[in-house]
Homo-oligomer: A and B are copies of this chain.
Amino acid sequence: MCENSNDQYILMISTNIRIKDIAKMAGVSEGTVDRVLHNRGNVSAKALTKVSNVLKKIHYKPNLIARSLRRSKHFRVSVVIPEPNLDPYWAEVNAGIIQAIGEWGHYGVTIEPFFYTHDGKLSLELISNQALKSKPDGMVIAPIFYPQALQVFSQLQKKGIPYVLFNTNIPESKPLSFIGQDLFQSGKLAGQLMSIGHEATEEIVILHIGEDVKDSVYLIEKEKGFKEFYEKNIHHPYKITSLNLDSGEKSFRSKIESLILRESITGMFVTTSKAVSTIARILEDYPSTSVRLIGYDMLEENLKHLKSGLINFLINQNPKRQVFQGISHMANHLLFKKEIPRTELFPLEVITQQNVDSYIASGIH
């Protein structure tokens, strides 16, 4: 029989000590205690020891609500992401920003989004500079173009503006925090999902579809992970090829069709989120073939094809929650001076026909 453990928490009843109490106990003023707590100097050695001794005895937990009311500054956070009108993935991210505006508005945090494209007057660098002009208290950035991003970080560091990255990590920039996923592991997961229940020969194509070859640096991680899974775990014959395509080019559709018509293809893994629907649309015209199709993210069109069964699995990168979390971290940092994690890797969520609605219903929580 196991004993009941109702007793062990009795000690946890909070003591609720205020600065005023500490001051009284140490025989100094509130101001002095505050100066000690924040190492702000101008404290005599004698006062310091008196206060320190009290602090050693009790466990002081500052009241974060009072602290932030006092600060009651109107914080402004700029969020810099690729133009949402050009890609539903970034439209999702933008939806996350809107949610954050609603949530953090209550706490006096204003969030201003800025959108960039690859080139010219709306480049990451120029848009970021525009964002900087309004002198925000913090920035949350999805830095998908490496060299331009470096310029931005050096600006931010010079001005002492804290920043949080999401989606794409650039560790050497030493951000306050990074929120994203382990892409290599994400590829391994795709590999596992592709192989479930397969025992005969498999022929698989990995498709990187998009305009910017630059992104491939990150997409390649997914490919590597996928291949590693097969190497280490699959003992029946298989063949994996990978292709870089631009859905804009004329020969795109015919290239895909010729793949399908070879009919030996058993699976396709599409590493970019909106492209998996492009493939699904083509597969739709070949109902007799059975290709296991795996892609990324709960974009509207992807959901349609997932529900109809054309797409078998989506791995959710949670674009909405990534920004939301990034903004929340920044807000907690500014508002409450809370400690925030240096990196936060999101779980690799598997979305199927049967759990997709549960994900839609639960939204961000």
Measured CB to CB, the residues of A under 8 A from B are 2-6, 9, 12-14, 16, 61-66, 68-69, 72, 74, 83-86, 101, 105-108, 110-115, 117, 122, 127, 181-182, 185, 188-189, 191-193, 196-198, 229, 325, 344-350, 352-355, 357-359, 361-362, 365
- Complex contact B6–A358 (CB within 8 A): no
- Complex contact B74–A14 (CB within 8 A): yes
- Seed contacts A16-B108, A189-B354; 12 additional CB < 8 Å A-B pairs: A5-B85, A14-B105, A61-B106, A63-B107, A65-B72, A66-B69, A188-B354, A193-B352, A345-B361, A348-B355, A349-B350, A349-B355
- Complex contact B350–A358 (CB within 8 A): no
Neighbouring B residues of A191 by C-beta, 8 Å: 354
Neighbouring B residues of A83 by C-beta, 8 Å: 2, 4-5
From B112, B181, B182, B362, A347 is in contact (CB under 8 Å) with B362
Closest to A7 in B: B115
Q: How many copies does the complex hold?
A: 2
- Complex contact B9–A112 (CB within 8 A): yes
- Complex contact A185–B355 (CB within 8 A): yes
A199, B179: Cα distance in complex, Å: 40
- Complex contact B344–A110 (CB within 8 A): no
A48, B49: Cα distance in complex, Å: 57
From B6, B69, B127, A69 is in contact (CB under 8 Å) with B69
- Secondary structure class of chain A's binding surface, majority of residues: mixed
Shortest CB-to-CB span from A116 to chain B, Å, is 9
- Name 20 interchain pairs, CB-CB below 8 A, sorted by A: A2-B86, A4-B115, A6-B114, A6-B115, A9-B112, A12-B101, A16-B74, A61-B106, A63-B108, A64-B106, A69-B69, A185-B357, A191-B354, A193-B352, A197-B198, A344-B365, A346-B358, A347-B349, A347-B355, A349-B350
Neighbouring B residues of A110 by C-beta, 8 Å: 12-14
Known: A14-B74, A65-B65, A197-B196. A185 touches B112 (CB 8 A): no
From B84, B108, B196, A196 is in contact (CB under 8 Å) with B196
Neighbouring B residues of A127 by C-beta, 8 Å: 6
Shortest CB-to-CB span from A129 to chain B, Å, is 13
Shortest CB-to-CB span from A284 to chain B, Å, is 19
- Complex contact B348–A63 (CB within 8 A): no
- Complex contact B122–A4 (CB within 8 A): yes
Shortest CB-to-CB span from A99 to chain B, Å, is 13
- Complex contact B63–A65 (CB within 8 A): no
Neighbouring B residues of A69 by C-beta, 8 Å: 63, 65-66, 69
Closest to A312 in B: B196
